[in-house]
Amino acid sequence: MWSAGYQPAKETERDAWYRYKNERTASLKIDKTKNRWYNFATGTGGKPIDLAMHVWECDLSEAIVKLKALNHGTIRTEAQTQLQVRPRKLESETEKILIKPLANPALISYLDERGISFSTAKASLQEIYIKKEGRNTQFFVGLKNDAGGYNMRNKMFKRVHGHNAISTIEGNGEKQVIFFEGFMDFLSYREMNPNHKKTAIVLNSTANVDSGIKRIESLQPKSVELFLDNDASGRQATDKIKSRFPFAVDRAGEYQAHKDLNDFLVALKKNKRQNSNSIKL
Q: How far apart are CA 168 and CA 184, in angstroms?
A: 14
If we measure between CA atoms, which residue out of 191, 192, 188, 222 comes closest to residue 202?
A: 188
CB 194 within 8 A of CB 120: yes
CB 40 within 8 A of CB 24: no
Q: Quick one: pLDDT at residue 22?
A: 64
* Burial group, residue 254, by CB count within 10 angstroms (0-12, 13-18, 19+): exposed
For the domain that residue 54 is a member of, what is the CATH number? 3.90.580.10
pLDDT of 71 over the 80 cut? no
Same domain, 129 and 193: yes
Number of domains in the chain: 2
User: Can you give the residue range of the structural domain that contains 190?
Assistant: 95-270
Q: How far apart are CA 83 and CA 80, in angstroms?
A: 9
Q: What is the pLDDT of residues 168-206, one digit of tens each?
A: 999 987 799 999 999 999 999 999 999 999 999 999 988
Same domain, 42 and 148: no
Same domain, 125 and 164: yes
> b/e for 30-52, b at 16 or more Cβ within 10 A?
bebeeebbbbbbbbbbeebeebb
Same domain, 152 and 33: no
Same domain, 11 and 118: no
Q: Quick one: pLDDT at residue 217?
A: 96
In a domain, 238, yes or no: yes
Same domain, 251 and 176: yes
Beta bridge partners of 250: 226
In a domain, 82, yes or no: no
Mean pLDDT for the stretch of residues 56-80: 60
More confident residue, 51 or 122: 122
pLDDT of 238 over the 90 cut? yes
Mean pLDDT of the chain: 83
Q: What is the pLDDT of residues 14-66, one digit of tens each?
A: 788 887 766 777 888 888 888 888 887 777 788 888 888 777 766 676 677 66
In a domain, 11, yes or no: yes
CB 14 within 8 A of CB 33: yes
